Structure 1
Amino acid sequence: MQSNCIREVSRACSNDCCSNLLIGLPETRSSASKVTSSGINPQHEFTTAILASIQPNSNFTNHESLPSSIELFSYLENAYPYYSTTVLADNIRAQEYNHIVVSNHVCLDYIGHGLFSYSQQQGHNFTAEIASSSTSTPPRPSDSPFFDISYKSVNLNSFLLYGGQESEFESSTRKRIMKFMNVSEEDYYMVFTANQSSAFKLLADSYPFQSNKNLLTVYDYENEAVQVMIESSKKKGARPISAVFSWPNLRVNSRKLRKLVVNKRKLSNRGLFAFPLQSRMTGARYSYQWMSLARENGWHILLDACALGPKEMETLGLSLFQPDFLICSFYKVFDENPSGFCCLFIKKSSVSELCKSCTSMGIVSLLPANESFEQLAFNKAENEQETAISQQEIEETPEQIHLKESSVSEIIELDETPHTAQSRNQESDAGRTSGEIECRGLDHADTLGLILISSRTRCLTNWLVNALMSLQHPHSENGLPLIRIYGPKIKLERGPAVAFNVYDWKGEKVDPTLVQKLADRNNISVGCGILTNIWFSEIYEEEKHRMLETRSRKKESKKKDKNSYRISVVTISIGMLTNFDDMYRIWAFVSRFLDADFVEKERWRYTALNQTTVEV
């Protein structure tokens, strides 16, 4: 992968506003915690600014006494002036995604990259309605704009080497995505899959686990797509193993992971190392040099880029490192139409490693929506013409019909040779599929750029973490916090995701699904997930039994496993279109749990309105 912005990233790395988040040795402290040559500690400066963005040293015990959004935003701008330079993102949100403003919806449960804007979708649907009125065909449904997908049952190896013909529409889409992902067409193939699970399964079905037995994954949460890959690999004889994460900060346990990667018993045919550069739930960052260490020790590298923010594939480290496989997901329109596809990138030098006899259903083709639409119109017109001819032949004599058919046949033979007929068909097909697709969502990310997006999301994420930690139950002797944050707290190097739980005044956890339901009824979308692969040292034995509410029954029946514990959590994802008001509203909503009767009040309120009762 050749970076298009190494100069930009290098300049960003010299400023505390956008240090290179992904560089760092697996067993060394983060470079952001060190003092620079100018005597400035970026981590300290950033933390100080974030802490000052809310009333300094303030704790809030009553949701009705929170400062206003306007007041806190002014604190933020004073404490962290660089945030005001990201106003371009607010302008794009207002102009191209005004449905968020109109619906007053806070959307914090999305990961991946948006392909199109809402404004673009509306224009597309309007054009489709005009076309349908002129051809007397029904308009296409608005929930399937721009393209459809069709499934293929093929062998991945054969498809890459001798694959079927690619339409111009599909080719232009592929090139646009590879450019956005900063992946070279000279070095990589790319295939479309229906979703993340399909991409992971496709790779698992095609990877030679019969000879490369190990599958090493680095995830601090339960990932459905990764689990599909694990189950598929086990059928081929693979031995799945996982990194573990140390309590309480949930950092990857470097000593244990290094031992798994550098196993001296066998120096070749290690297997597949599946590695995300950050947790999409906790926001924990991992050094890209784990991939280098794994490669040096004989592993094939799968980079899971699904949780990376826009433009992060252009960071300096990733521009230089070329994984064997890469997976990333794309959705259609943010907060409006989540359907889309996933992309599996395969390094051309790694194709020979894939199985040549395995067939999978994971690959899809993209069909432009107008092609399906125009085909429908063409079929209808053809049927109407055949009906008219049929009705006319009822009225004509046999002699007239024979003379007519002979004349038509002669005209076709004289006017249309096989060559001209083929050309006409090709021109018709080209007319339906030609034209480069406009991915305005990706264009917006390109316009904002790596520095602006990273600075904005970092500021908003850390502000929210600080705000959540400032909430404490009233009348608690030891200042009982309302919120428990899992993973990084206020930290310069953290991803734009937060995992947390709400605790009541008695110290008991509120069910994350209940928090999600109540948030949804306040027009706020958050996610739920399960943290796993947690390793507790002996000094945290008491806290372990206090914090963990469930244990894997399957593993409990066998020998004790320190990694079998699970924690259900509320999750938040922050993207380039997220703004300060979104952060304030989720904070204000969570603060309502400071009222000991909040859940019960919500139950009765919805019952009184004859709506669904919230189950506690």
Structure 2
Amino acid sequence: MATLGQKHEASLVYSQGCCPTTFFSIPTISQSQITVSKPRSSTSECRHNFAATTASSIFPNTQFTNHESLPSLQESFTEFVRVYPQYSETEQVDLVRAEEYYHLSVSKYTCLDYIGIGLFSYYQLQRHDTLKTQIASSSIPQVPQYSEAPFFSISYKTGNLKTLLLHGGQESEFETTMRKKIMGFLNISDNDYFMVFTANRTAAFKLVAESYPFQSNRKLLTVYDYESEAVETMISCSERRGGRALSAEFSWPRLRIQSTKLRKMIEGKTKCKKKRGLFVFPLHSRVTGARYPYLWMSVAQENGWHVLIDACALSPKDTDSFGLCVFRPDFLICSFYKVFGENPSGFGCLFVKKSAISVLQASSCGGIVNLIPERRLFQVPEDSSGTQVDQKATSILQQELESLTSFSGRIESKKVEEGVLSKLQITERDEVKKRNTVENPERRKVPDDKNGSFDIECRCLDQVDSLGLTVINNRGRYLVNWLVNSLLKLKHPNTEGVPLVKIYGPKIRFDRGPALAFNVFDWKGSKVEPVLVQKLADRNNISLSYGFLHHLCFADKYVQEKGRVLQTKEGGVGKGVKMEKKKDGSQKLGITVVTAAIGFLANFEDIYKLWAFLARFLDADFVEKERWRYTTLNQKTIEI
């Protein structure tokens, strides 16, 4: 394992400004994993005090056994601010939400079903739709639409990853601008890394699996406490190409990494450190909210592993505390969504360290994409007739789509007329300038679009940059820990006091992530199916998701609990337990769970709504009442 000297060295690097944060923000390896004992530091003391204050100050000595006994939203918020007075320092987020993402409040819909970093604000989406409406109502002929998505669409490329990395590919001006914005946002230098656009997170994982030399570097070691489509795709590809998949295990019930077992897998049975394989490490669990010690990356690198960092579960500014300049992984994957809470589609980003390119093999694989800006469809000359405009725009569209068929194809920024914009574009740009200078002088202005060049205003990225790491992380920390504590206060009204909610993974902790995995239990102790909880939440205007926890390790003292949690009655599969077959025909067990993710724009009302909704399960007849209500709305059955 890493020594105290290595840990101190990393701390010094951070404090000296290599990355814009301090080591205080980074999860550290627990004392049980370090051979030298050390008194509790001021950092650990602060974290301990935070957890103790949360547990003792929020609804102290109180249990809620009836959803009607819950305090009101205003009463709860008053208590919340009393316990976390620093929350008022994050009010800038509320201002951004009200101005740029007003749909989150107007729609009364609480979005807690995905973690991601948005590119554009909802205000931009509305402005985009307004422009399309103006065009539709004008006399300008319509150009055939090849995407209903706002701002851009994607087009698949053919070729292989290594060829693209070695020889490059023609990149449109739009893509160049987007790439520079994202690399700047993530503090990644193009002197050290290449960036590739992929269709999604799964496509990025598959690209690496198809190109990595598993025939010689056979091992694939992953660290996931939940089932991931992207990781399963990578495992399948690696095994097909001669790889051997290994996985870290997680201790029940807190789901902490089994450090001894993981260390043995990393170090291997031999002292030879050459050609170990690929170590895939998520900085956070996007299901349980567990944060993992970053120094595992150094341990893997010191033992000859290539390292892939899955940064898709990071909060928007967590990259500032990651310290890419310290760990320098061979591969890094992240994803970006278009708009938060609306049309959450986008693309994935694969970063490959330039020194790691020689390791890859040339193999045919898909998933690499071009980004095509939708705004090109609206660029028309001022004085052209309708027929000319239609023919010109259609011709340009056809040429552009033809140029995006392969790496060798020429990809250019097409221009309708050099230096000329349509009246609609000028009107839109002037409206933005007026809004910037009159309504909000401090907002970043949109530069002139000269000579047909692209200027991409990624409003969400700009807002996150202005808010900063401290504000975003503190806000998420207060909200998720209040929610965890409040859920644990819900008890069924019987003599046993059966908890309504069981939380998997970290509970009240200073450094837990903004994701939460849990299950709801009835008064008999039987689990309510996660998919049913999700559907009922959706009918109450709350978006939740569900996942599958696996690779769980039970100590001897939890043997009986293991039987209740994972095993089934009479040797079968019980409710909530998912069985999967391994290659040798044996089966592994896992737990289906409800998941909630708290984004950077979430507010107290969002988490209160979730708490109040889950409290309704304290009513023993709640599910049956909802089923009856569902059938009265001309539905035959409730889908489970």
Quick one: which of 111, 117, 122 aligns to 1:113? Answer: 117
For residues 513 and 385 of structure 1, the distance between their equivalents in structure 2, rounded to whole angstroms, comes to 51
For residues 615 and 372 of structure 1, the distance between their equivalents in structure 2, rounded to whole angstroms, comes to 42
Quick one: which of 612, 615, 630 aligns to 1:591? Answer: 615
1:1-400 alignment, distance < 5 Å: 13=22, 19-24=24-29, 28=33, 35-37=40-42, 41-132=45-136, 133-137=138-142, 143-265=148-270, 266-315=272-321, 317-356=323-362, 358-374=363-379, 381-382=387-388
- Residue by residue over 1:464-523, the C-alpha shift from the partner in whole angstroms, topping out at 9 and shown as x without a partner, is 000110000002x23210010000010111111100000000100000000000000000
- Residue by residue over 1:402-457, the C-alpha shift from the partner in whole angstroms, topping out at 9 and shown as x without a partner, is xxxxxxxxxxxxxxxxxxxx999894899796222111111111111111111110
Q: Is the 8 A contact 1:129 1:139 kept in 2?
A: no
Quick one: which of 557, 578, 582 aligns to 2:606? Answer: 582
CA change 1:379–1:352 in 2 (3 A) is farther
TM-score (norm: length of structure 1): 0.86
Residue 565 of structure 1: CA displacement? Answer: 1.6
Quick one: which of 575, 579, 582 aligns to 1:552? Answer: 579
Instruction: Give unmatched runs, 5+ long, in structure 2.
Output: 1-9, 393-412, 421-448, 567-573
For residues 350 and 271 of structure 1, the distance between their equivalents in structure 2, rounded to whole angstroms, comes to 13
Letter in 2 for 1:473: H
CA change 1:9–1:158 in 2 (3 A) is closer
For residues 201 and 66 of structure 1, the distance between their equivalents in structure 2, rounded to whole angstroms, comes to 47
2:549 maps to 1:539: no
CA change 1:7–1:333 in 2 (3 A) is farther
For residues 568 and 209 of structure 1, the distance between their equivalents in structure 2, rounded to whole angstroms, comes to 31
Secondary structure of the structure 2 residue equivalent to 1:149: strand
Q: Is the 8 A contact 2:379 2:416 kept in 1?
A: no
For residues 591 and 66 of structure 1, the distance between their equivalents in structure 2, rounded to whole angstroms, comes to 8
Letter in 1 for 2:499: P
Letter in 1 for 2:249: V
Letter in 2 for 1:460: L
Letter in 1 for 2:284: Q
2:525 maps to 1:507: yes
Residue 333 of structure 1: CA displacement? Answer: 0.6
CA change 1:541–1:170 in 2 (3 A) is same
Secondary structure of the structure 2 residue equivalent to 1:171: helix
- Residue by residue over 1:103-139, the C-alpha shift from the partner in whole angstroms, topping out at 9 and shown as x without a partner, is 0010001112101000011112222333452522169
- Percent of aligned positions with the same letter in both sequences? 53
Quick one: which of 591, 604, 620 aligns to 1:567? Answer: 591
Residue 260 of structure 1: CA displacement? Answer: 0.3
Secondary structure of the structure 2 residue equivalent to 1:202: helix
Letter in 2 for 1:122: Q
Letter in 1 for 2:200: N
For residues 391 and 332 of structure 2, the distance between their equivalents in structure 1, rounded to whole angstroms, comes to 50
Per the alignment, residue 432 of structure 2 pairs with none
Query: Quick check: 133-142 or 258-267, which moved more?
Result: 133-142
Q: Is the 8 A contact 2:156 2:368 kept in 1?
A: yes
Query: Quick check: 523-532 or 605-614, which moved more?
Result: 605-614
Secondary structure of the structure 2 residue equivalent to 1:323: coil
Per the alignment, residue 433 of structure 2 pairs with none
Query: Quick check: 134-143 or 493-502, which moved more?
Result: 134-143
Secondary structure of the structure 1 residue equivalent to 2:275: coil
For residues 309 and 504 of structure 1, the distance between their equivalents in structure 2, rounded to whole angstroms, comes to 33
CA change 1:82–1:30 in 2 (3 A) is farther
- Residue by residue over 1:187-215, the C-alpha shift from the partner in whole angstroms, topping out at 9 and shown as x without a partner, is 10000000111111011111111111010
Per the alignment, residue 490 of structure 2 pairs with 471
Secondary structure of the structure 1 residue equivalent to 2:178: helix
CA change 1:368–1:432 in 2 (3 A) is farther
- Residue by residue over 1:292-325, the C-alpha shift from the partner in whole angstroms, topping out at 9 and shown as x without a partner, is 0000001000000000111111116444221000
Residue 355 of structure 1: CA displacement? Answer: 0.7
1:427-438 alignment, distance < 5 Å: 427=418, 434-438=453-457
- Residue by residue over 1:198-247, the C-alpha shift from the partner in whole angstroms, topping out at 9 and shown as x without a partner, is 11101111111111101000000000011111111111100011001011
For residues 346 and 187 of structure 2, the distance between their equivalents in structure 1, rounded to whole angstroms, comes to 20
CA change 1:198–1:431 in 2 (3 A) is farther
Q: Is the 8 A contact 2:116 2:335 kept in 1?
A: yes
CA change 1:246–1:191 in 2 (3 A) is same
Secondary structure of the structure 1 residue equivalent to 2:345: strand
CA change 1:63–1:384 in 2 (3 A) is closer
Q: Is the 8 A contact 1:26 1:254 kept in 2?
A: no
Q: Is the 8 A contact 1:9 1:316 kept in 2?
A: no
CA change 1:60–1:103 in 2 (3 A) is same
Residue 381 of structure 1: CA displacement? Answer: 3.3
TM-score (norm: length of structure 2): 0.83
How many matched pairs? 569
Query: Which is greater in Rg?
Result: 1
- Residue by residue over 1:155-207, the C-alpha shift from the partner in whole angstroms, topping out at 9 and shown as x without a partner, is 11111121221111110000000111111111100000001111110111111
Per the alignment, residue 395 of structure 2 pairs with none
Q: Is the 8 A contact 1:143 1:337 kept in 2?
A: no
Secondary structure of the structure 2 residue equivalent to 1:451: helix
For residues 200 and 47 of structure 2, the distance between their equivalents in structure 1, rounded to whole angstroms, comes to 37
1:428-507 alignment, distance < 5 Å: 434-475=453-494, 477-507=495-525
Residue 249 of structure 1: CA displacement? Answer: 0.9
Secondary structure of the structure 2 residue equivalent to 1:211: coil
Query: Quick check: 184-193 or 260-269, which moved more?
Result: 260-269
CA change 1:472–1:275 in 2 (3 A) is same
Q: Is the 8 A contact 1:368 1:433 kept in 2?
A: no
Instruction: Give unmatched runs, 5+ long, in structure 1.
Output: 387-421
For residues 472 and 35 of structure 2, the distance between their equivalents in structure 1, rounded to whole angstroms, comes to 21
Letter in 2 for 1:212: N
CA change 1:593–1:7 in 2 (3 A) is farther
Residue 553 of structure 1: CA displacement? Answer: 4.9
CA change 1:425–1:352 in 2 (3 A) is farther
Q: Is the 8 A contact 2:87 2:478 kept in 1?
A: yes
For residues 134 and 114 of structure 1, the distance between their equivalents in structure 2, rounded to whole angstroms, comes to 34
Q: Is the 8 A contact 1:69 1:584 kept in 2?
A: yes
Q: Is the 8 A contact 1:50 1:76 kept in 2?
A: no
The CA RMSD measured in Å over matched residues stands at 3.1
